[in-house]
Each structure stands twice: as C-alpha cells, then as structure tokens.
Structure 1
Amino acid sequence: MAASVVQCHVTGRKWTMAASSIALVFAALVLCLCDGQYEAEPVPLVIWHGMGDSCCNPFSMGAVKKMVERQIPGIYVLSLRIGNSITEDMKNSFFLNVNEQVDFVCKELALNSLLQNGYNSMGFSQGGQFLRAVAQRCPSPRMKNLISIGGQHQGVYGFPRCPGEISKICDQIRKVLNFGAYTRYVQEHLVQAEYWHDPLNEDEYRNSSIFLADINQEKQLNNSYKNNIQLLEKFVMVKFLNDTMVDPPDTEWFGFYQSGQSSKTVTLQESTLYTDDRLGLREMDKAGKLVFIGVEGDHLQFNEEWFTKNIIPFLL
C-alpha cells in the first residue's frame, strides 16, 4: 500500500506512515498543533469612529488601524464606513438615524465571512455606545471584547466644543439640542440628539429618546439586550480624565448626573441601572467582565505607548 506524508507547516517535521494508519495521522496533527511554535490566527477587529470623523482618516482611524496592524501582525481590521464615500460617512455621523446605522452595521458584520468565528470591537467616542448597541441587538457573529474609548454610555448633557473644520456644524447642533432635542423630527434626524440625556427632565428623556433610552433599558425591559451583552468576555471603558468635550466625562464609565440636577454625578455602581441590574452590568462587574481605564488627557488624546500597554492586550 502506498505511503502518505503529513507535513506540519509550523515545525517543519514530516511524518511518513501507511495511509491506513488514521490514528497515527491524527496523532501527528495533534503534535503539530501542540508544538510551542503554533500560534492561533488573530481575532479580527471592528472599529467604529466618532462624531465628524470617518473610517479612513489617515490622522485618526487610519492611524489606529495601522497601529493595531503593527502590533498584531496578520490581524484583519474592519474600520466601519457608514455610507458610500468618506464624505457621506462623516455626514452620517451627524445626520443619519443611529438605529439605521446600527442595523446597517449588523447586516454588514453578518455577511462578512472573516468575522464568523467572532471578533473584537473598538468604538471611539459615540462609536463606543453604537457598538454596544450592536452587541445588545446582534449577537451573531459574536462580539468577544468591546472596547469603548471615550464612549458616552449614559449620554451627554452639553455640547462644549467640536474639532477643527466642523465647528460650524457643531454650533448649529448645539442650538438645536438646547431647544428641541426631544422633538420627533430632531430625534430621527440628528445623531447627537439620540444620546442627549437631560437630567432635569428624565421623564421626557425616557419617553422621547429613540436610541439611548432604549439600549439602556429605560423604556421597557428587553431580556435579549441583557442576555446578549453578557456574552462579552470583557467590556472595557476608557475615560479621559481631563475631557473638555464630553459633558459629563463620567458617562465614559457609565456614570452621569444625579437625577434632577446637573452638578453632582453618580457612578455606575450608584445608579439604578446597576442596582436594579436592568442591563446585566452588575452581574458582569462581579464576574470581572467590566474594565475601567482612566487616561490623563483631553478627549481621544493618547499615544501609541499608552495604547500598546492598555488596549492591545484586549485584542490578542
């Protein structure tokens, strides 16, 4: 009977045996896989940019993508583009209904063959809470780790400033939010209104918010949201300790203003969302799945050394 050769590509060893010796072939393959030189394929990474940014800006998401690829050779990184062009992607970060964006991303991820064994995700600023919505609403393919960098998980109550060339757009948005954030038209057509959280008018917020109040279980309980988010291995929240853009910065760790006023804040652990465990965060916290990281600096200001030390370990 002719002989067969099994080649272990990792170690370079060759094993020659009779073709009928299936058990020996299996043993050889096990030795290959168990050899110390074997390395698993990197877990793919999905990135969602923040307000006024785009998937491929070479100075923001493009630079992050390259940084991850340098640190983890061979990794597949998908930087989400919401729209048919980079310009449309940027505009949609202001004006496309968030629920439509999340639905679009869920469908895109489900059709991507490279993500079917699971993926990690990393959201910047508003991309953090948007990816959390993906985790809660679309458990397949499975999101393993969610890394929120400056995400506003309890929303914002203030719009202090905007970066660079889009400051004029932000000035207009600020005026709209201050006077009509909870009107139906604004909710459906202005992204930032969908995570506007007015602590002085909690009932209006709960009744009118079409996105944040829903994913935070403040309208009605959705058991699938709670079950799906607990499938995460880690939920990492990065807070910028000197943030001048996000109001209040505590929202980046799921804290917010105490209801009825806009000066004193409460932590996640002090909130009813946690004590009532409507979203499962208390259970995740006790299981060690919640990770809170603070970084000195203003909104989204960090360097590669910090990123390599604090974020890369959750992508491996």
Structure 2
Amino acid sequence: MAACRALTLTALLLTLCNGKTEADPVPLVIWHGMGDSCCNPFSMGAVKKMVEEQIPGIYVLSLEIGNSIPEDMKNSFFLNVNEQVDGVCKELAQNPNLKNGYNSMGFSQGGQFLRAVAQRCPSPPMKNLISIGGQHQGVYGFPRCPGEISHMCDLIRKLLNYGAYTREVQDYLVQAEYWHDPINEEQYRNGSIFLADINQERHVNVSYKQNLQLLEKFVMVKFLNDTMVDPPDTEWFGFYRPGQSKETITLQESNLYMEDRLGLKEMEKAGRLVFLGVEGNHLQFSKEWFNKNIIPFLH
C-alpha cells in the first residue's frame, strides 16, 4: 500500500513539474463550406493537419455529408439544411469519442450550420463554437464560383431569381435556406425554412436560447476584405438595415440582440462572445494567424 501511494505521489509530482494533465485534448468537429468537402487536402485536410500539429493526440472529425467526397460537395448545394443538421446531430450523438463534449469549427456556411447543431442538439455538449466566415444573418447576394463548380453557381442564381422563398427552391437549394432579403423581411420570415427558424424570426424557441447559452465561447471571424459574402457584416451577425440594401447595422443594433432572442446580449456581457477580424478575402488566412488566434480556443 505504501509503495502504491509513493508511485501515485511520484506521478502527481511529475505531472505538476511538466505542467501537463493526463486528460485527452478536447475533440474537434469541423464543417466545411459551400462547394468544399470534408477531406480536400488544400482546405479542410490542411486545417485538420494544422490542428493536429498544434494539439498532439487530438481527435478531429471533419464532417462528410454523404457517402463520398463528390456527394459531400454536391450536398453542400442541394441537400436540405435541416436534413443535414439532423443527420449530423445523430452522427455526433453516436460517436463515442465525443461523449464528453467537443469544440466545433465551421467554415463559411458551415458556421451557421454548426450553430444550428448547438441550438438544436445539446448532447453531446458543444464547448466552443468557432465560426470562420459564417453568414449568421444570411446573405443577399451570390458569389462567383471558380472553375469546375461555376456551372452549379449559374444554376443556383437562376433558382434564386426564380423565387428564393418558394417551397420547391427552399427544399432543394441550400443557399436559398439562408437567403435573407432585407427589402422583403416579411417574405423572408415566412418563407425561410432554416435561417429564420434558428434566428428566432417567427417565434422564440426557448430551448434554442437555452442551448446556445451552454457554449463556453462563441467565436466569430470576419474577413475584413471579403468580396464573396454580401454583406460581410453577417460574419459578425450584422446585416442590412431592414427595408433597403445599402446601409448595414451591427449585431448590437439589431432587434435580435436588443430583444436577446438568442441570448447573444447576455453572452457578450459575460465575455463569451468573441469577435475576431482578419485581413484578406473570404477564407484567406495564414497558418501563423490561425495558430495564434484560433488554436487557443481548441484547448
């Protein structure tokens, strides 16, 4: 018995001297953006590698929406967001690596999708939510798309012009589900099957607010030279002032904040809402910036 106590004390002293604990790193869940995939070596694959280099032993789950990389990419355009969120919630709940909680990091539209997970599915618990270029008040413009996916973007523009809030387009087109027309706010509130719901635009779902309050930190990254997202302010939860599409207002000036329908006002007062800015266009950042500004929230 004395020998056991001596070994335990020795292990404790070694732990204190090394400044380490035996606890495993908090797992990380990543959700990619439009036209991307879970495992692209030049995007999500590179991010996963950066995280693993900085936090040895971390478990990283980069979400694949579908059964293959091509299907994952296609679903980022054409699979109902509510179905995607439901599927992810089930996947996370069944993953034993996440049972004690996890951090999450969403890129572009993956940011608002992971926020929906936080609001709708509190188990397993999400600890920190990091939104990198997420569009939390939606978009009112569709970006140019490069190379091989440009034909998809042309189709999407035609569908949005046809009628973003028709049931057929809402059910079929991901980007329509966070299309926010500031000139027709009532049509947006009544027609949006995803964003208007998670932003409490029609009625207040008490559980959404309570679940979001469980986050330790909600970090929002805005790209200060963003030409892809319209308006860029949406990355910090700002948007156009209702009724026009020129002047923008901040989160703090919005009814969502002043009425505290999601608890963001309360979170900011408690220091749990974090706004980060980075020079560069959409999703353009350096490894050095990422390691300095994002990695600390993943420990």
> Do 1:162 and 1:245's aligned partners in 2 also have CA atoms closer than 8 Å?
no
1:292 aligns with 2:275: yes
Structure 2 equivalent of residue 99 of structure 1: 82
- State the shift of 1:30 in Å: 5.8
**Per the alignment, in what secondary structure is the counterpart of residue 51 of structure 1?**
coil
1:223 aligns with 2:214: no
Q: Distance in 2 between matches of 1:161 and 1:243?
A: 13
One of 224, 235, 240 as aligned partner of 1:252: 235
Which amino acid is 2:53 matched to? R
Q: Distance in 2 between matches of 1:299 and 1:190?
A: 22
1:143 aligns with 2:126: yes
1:162 aligns with 2:153: no
Structure 1 equivalent of residue 20 of structure 2: 38
Structure 2 equivalent of residue 15 of structure 1: 6
1:263 aligns with 2:254: no
What per-residue deviation string (whole Å, max 9, x for no partner) do you get for residues 142-198 of structure 1? 000000000000000000312332111101101211231000011011000000000
1:275 aligns with 2:275: no
1:243 aligns with 2:234: no
- State the shift of 1:75 in Å: 0.5
**Per the alignment, in what secondary structure is the counterpart of residue 15 of structure 1?**
helix
Which amino acid is 2:192 matched to? S
Structure 1 equivalent of residue 30 of structure 2: 47
Structure 2 equivalent of residue 21 of structure 1: none
Q: Distance in 1 between matches of 2:16 and 2:54?
A: 24
Can you give the 5+ residue segments of structure 2 that lack an aligned partner in the other structure? Answer: none
Q: Distance in 2 between matches of 1:151 and 1:282?
A: 19
Q: Distance in 2 between matches of 1:29 and 1:214?
A: 51
Q: Distance in 1 between matches of 2:95 and 2:17?
A: 31
One of 299, 303, 308 as aligned partner of 2:286: 303
**Per the alignment, in what secondary structure is the counterpart of residue 280 of structure 2?**
coil
> Do 1:81 and 1:89's aligned partners in 2 also have CA atoms closer than 8 Å?
yes
Q: Distance in 2 between matches of 1:33 and 1:111?
A: 33
**Per the alignment, in what secondary structure is the counterpart of residue 288 of structure 1?**
coil
Structure 2 equivalent of residue 11 of structure 1: none
> Do 1:45 and 1:121's aligned partners in 2 also have CA atoms closer than 8 Å?
yes
Can you give the 5+ residue segments of structure 1 that lack an aligned partner in the other structure? Answer: 7-13, 17-24
1:83 aligns with 2:74: no
Q: Distance in 2 between matches of 1:163 and 1:220?
A: 38
What per-residue deviation string (whole Å, max 9, x for no partner) do you get for residues 20-72 of structure 1? xxxxx7x6776566554432321100000000000000100001000110111
One of 68, 89, 92 as aligned partner of 1:109: 92
Q: Distance in 2 between matches of 1:67 and 1:164?
A: 26
- State the shift of 1:215 in Å: 0.1
Q: Distance in 1 between matches of 2:294 and 2:50?
A: 11
> Do 1:187 and 1:209's aligned partners in 2 also have CA atoms closer than 8 Å?
yes
Which amino acid is 2:270 matched to? A
Q: Distance in 2 between matches of 1:147 and 1:60?
A: 16
Q: Distance in 1 between matches of 2:3 and 2:150?
A: 65
What per-residue deviation string (whole Å, max 9, x for no partner) do you get for residues 246-284 of structure 1? 000000000000000000000000000000001100000
What per-residue deviation string (whole Å, max 9, x for no partner) do you get for residues 70-120 of structure 1? 111111000000100011100000000000000000000001111111100
Q: Distance in 1 between matches of 2:155 and 2:81?
A: 19
> Do 1:162 and 1:170's aligned partners in 2 also have CA atoms closer than 8 Å?
yes
